[in-house]
Structure formats: structure tokens, C-alpha cells
């Protein structure tokens, strides 16, 4: 008896849904085993990281606020990933987006109100898209691999942030900390649920997946992205321009990351300091794949990943493990989802080997 992988005639729709769930469950299981092995109460750690944030109502707002940027960035990245355009630099585009929003806010001085806030957010979108335009131009003009260029630009963005918040934009009243002055209330996003931290950006993060879904399913643009990703030659045969596709995918990915950055700045943090880049742009890559590159999948996966962020902080106090443990869990999830992908196209079958006695004239 042995196991054999057999190609399915059609990709399994069931497995598309089952494997992400299995990836999360496997991650939890492995987590229990590993923590128990190193002498920490594994069950409690896993429950705290995965379940407590969802079960305790006072943690819901934290999950929602953390999920919003993850979902928004992941939506943009999914478009690129579907078209085989690999934008790894969403973190940098997120930073530039927030900085552009801050720049508009500073330029507006004491002025505020919905128009200014809208301009700030739009500046964030434009800034993120512009940052992503650099790898897009390098790729289409000089065939520079966008994985490397977009990733490296993230570090450039971090340096720009460090320069601005430590220099020209430093809060004069901030006891010399490298941080911008806090936004005046008129330049912040409205809070949706009074008494919580849930801001308008959360609502946007809930609506956008449905907009993206409609675009991907019904528009010629969504069709173009799907064809380019699935069969690039067929896309050319259908008259779709591959350079245009790369440009669009990069600009949308960057624009969404910039949107997330500006919403996070105007809605949640209200000031930019050196700790502003918190890895959302990288975690969103996991969200995008855990969500199967599907907009609604991104919505769900964004909540799951935000859950582990919040849970990681909880576990720090309850079972005394570093909150970077959440990062380990997130990476494990990505690992399992990528590994289990094979079951969408293949099925596992147990075969009985009839003893293939090598009765051939092997002696000679």
C-alpha cells in the first residue's frame, strides 16, 4: 500500500474552501503541540491567540480596526497576484500613502472638515499608487523583477518616513520624539460606533470586497486580470496588453495600500512615528493567499489574521509568550495554505501495489 497523487479532471471547488480552513486548524494543532513541548500551556496559548479575541466582545473593536488595513491591502494585492504580478512592497506603499495624507493635512494647516479629510485620503491613494508605479515602470521598461524592486522600495519608504518625522515634520511640542503632531480632530475620520475605536475605514473595508468581487466577476478588466494570470499567451491572443496589465495591477495594489495607510493614519493612529510601519503590508500577502485571492476570502482571512494579532497581545500577558508568536502562527498558516494547494488539483489515493516482482532477466 502506498499513497499516490492523482490529477483531478476539474479543480475541486470543495477543496478551494476546505484547504484554508484546514490550514487554520492545522496551525492551531501544531501550535498546541509545539507550546506543550517547550513547557508552555499550549491549549491556553492557542485559545488566547485564536479564540479569545473573537469570544470577548470588548476585543471585537480591536480586531475590526486591525482587520481593516489588512483587508484593503490584500484586496489590491490579490489583483496583482491573480495576474502573476508580485507586489511585495505593499508595506512601503502603505507608508508613503500615510505620509502623503499627513502632507496634505499639514499643508491645510488648521483647516479641517470632510473635504480636507477626503483630500488627505485621496492623496494617500495617489501616493501609494505612485510608489508602486516605480517597480511597474522598471518592470515594463527594463524587465526588472518587481519582487525585488518593490521590496527594496519598502526600505526606502521607511527611510523617508524616518527623515520626515525626525526632521521637517517633527512635532515641536513632542518632547523631541520623532513623531508628527497629532491630527486636529477636524482632520480625522469619523468614529462610526460611539465609544469605540471603530472608524469609517472599517466600513470601507467591509464594502470594498463586494465592489472588487463585482469587478472581478463581471467586468472586462477583471476578465483581463484572470486571463493574464491563468494563461498569458491566451491573454495576448484575446488582445489584452501584458504591459497594461502589469501597470494596472501594480497601481491598484499600490493605491489600495496607500488607502489603507491613509485610513490607518486618519482613523486609528492620528500621528505618524517610527513605529507606524507595523507589517500590515507583509501580513496582507498572507491574507491574500489565505483568502484564495478572492475578495470575499480576503475579507474573512483579514479578520482571521487580525484575530491572531490581537490574540498575540493577549497571550503575552496571559501565558507570557512574546507577541511576535502571532507572526509564527501567521507564517505557519501561509505555509499550510500553500502546501495544501495541491489538493485543489490532485486527490490523494491509496493504492495497493501488486508486488512487482522484478522477474525480468536482471541477472545478466
Binding residues for another protein (CB under 8 A): 6-11, 218-221, 223, 226-227, 230-231, 233-234, 236-241, 356-362
Q: Which three cell numbers stand for residue 343?
A: 489538493
Work out how close the CB of 357 gets to another protein at its nearest, in angstroms, rounded to a whole number: 7
User: Using alpha carbons only, how large is the chain's radius of gyration in Å?
Assistant: 23
Work out how close the CB of 238 gets to another protein at its nearest, in angstroms, rounded to a whole number: 4
Work out how close the CB of 333 gets to another protein at its nearest, in angstroms, rounded to a whole number: 25
Residue 114 CA, chain-centre distance (Å), reads 28
Work out how close the CB of 328 gets to another protein at its nearest, in angstroms, rounded to a whole number: 34
Consecutive H or E run containing 4: strand 2-7
Residue 60 CA, chain-centre distance (Å), reads 19
Q: What are phi and psi of 273, to 5 degrees?
A: -125, -175
Work out how close the CB of 224 gets to another protein at its nearest, in angstroms, rounded to a whole number: 10
Q: Which three cell numbers stand for residue 249?
A: 495591477
Nearer to another protein, 111 or 241 (CB): 241
Nearer to another protein, 224 or 308 (CB): 224
Nearer to another protein, 37 or 361 (CB): 361
Cell 469609517 -> residue: 200
Nearer to another protein, 197 or 242 (CB): 242
What's the rounded Cα separation, in Å, for the pair 39 and 141? 55
What's the rounded Cα separation, in Å, for the pair 84 and 157? 24
Q: Which three cell numbers stand for residue 317?
A: 500577558
Nearer to another protein, 66 or 82 (CB): 82
Whether 348 contacts 34, CB under 8 Å: no
Cell 518632547 -> residue: 175
Nearer to another protein, 9 or 173 (CB): 9
Is the dihedral angle over the CA atoms 100, 102, 108, 111 positive or is it negative? positive
Work out how close the CB of 9 gets to another protein at its nearest, in angstroms, rounded to a whole number: 5
What's the rounded Cα separation, in Å, for the pair 76 and 297? 13
Work out how close the CB of 347 gets to another protein at its nearest, in angstroms, rounded to a whole number: 8
Nearer to another protein, 159 or 244 (CB): 244
Amino acid at each position: 500500500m502506498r499513497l499516490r497523487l492523482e490529477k483531478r479532471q476539474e479543480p475541486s471547488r470543495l477543496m478551494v474552501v476546505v484547504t484554508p480552513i484546514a490550514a487554520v486548524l492545522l496551525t492551531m494543532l501544531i501550535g498546541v503541540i509545539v507550546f506543550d513541548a517547550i513547557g508552555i500551556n499550549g491549549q491556553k496559548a492557542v485559545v488566547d491567540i485564536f479564540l479569545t479575541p473573537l469570544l470577548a466582545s470588548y476585543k471585537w473593536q480591536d480586531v475590526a480596526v486591525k482587520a481593516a488595513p489588512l483587508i484593503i491591502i490584500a484586496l489590491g494585492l490579490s489583483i496583482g497576484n491573480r495576474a502573476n504580478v508580485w507586489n511585495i512592497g505593499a508595506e512601503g506603499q502603505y507608508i508613503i500613502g500615510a505620509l502623503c495624507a499627513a502632507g496634505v493635512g499639514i499643508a491645510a494647516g488648521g483647516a479641517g472638515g470632510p473635504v480636507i479629510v477626503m483630500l488627505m485620503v485621496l492623496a494617500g491613494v495617489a501616493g501609494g499608487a505612485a510608489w508602486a508605479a516605480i517597480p511597474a515602470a522598471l518592470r515594463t521598461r527594463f524587465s526588472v523583477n518587481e519582487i525585488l524592486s518593490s521590496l527594496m522600495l519598502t526600505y526606502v519608504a521607511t527611510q523617508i518616513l524616518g527623515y520626515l518625522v525626525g526632521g521637517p515634520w517633527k512635532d515641536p511640542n513632542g518632547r523631541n520624539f520623532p513623531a508628527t503632531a497629532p491630527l486636529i480632530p477636524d482632520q480625522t475620520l469619523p468614529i462610526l460606533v460611539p465609544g469605540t475605536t471603530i472608524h469609517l475605514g472599517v466600513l470601507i473595508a467591509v464594502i470594498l470586497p463586494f465592489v472588487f468581487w463585482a469587478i472581478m466577476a463581471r467586468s472586462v478588466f477583471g476578465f483581463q486580470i484572470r486571463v493574464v494570470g491563468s494563461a498569458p499567451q491566451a491573454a495576448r491572443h484575446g488582445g489584452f496588453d501584458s504591459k497594461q496589465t502589469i501597470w494596472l495591477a501594480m497601481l491598484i495594489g499600490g493605491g489600495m495600500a496607500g488607502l489603507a495607510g491613509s485610513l490607518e493614519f486618519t482613523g486609528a493612529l492620528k500621528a505618524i512615528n517610527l513605529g507606524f510601519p507595523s507589517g500590515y503590508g507583509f501580513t496582507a500577502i498572507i491574507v491574500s493567499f489565505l483568502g484564495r485571492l478572492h475578495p470575499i476570502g480576503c475579507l474573512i482571512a483579514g479578520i482571521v489574521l487580525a484575530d491572531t494579532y490581537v490574540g498575540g497581545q493577549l497571550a503575552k500577558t496571559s501565558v507570557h509568550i512574546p507577541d511576535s508568536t502571532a507572526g509564527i502562527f501567521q507564517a505557519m498558516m501561509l505555509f499550510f495554505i500553500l502546501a495544501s494547494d495541491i489538493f485543489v488539483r490532485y486527490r490523494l489515493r491509496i493504492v495497493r501495489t501488486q508486488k512487482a516482482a522484478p522477474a525480468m532477466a536482471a541477472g545478466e
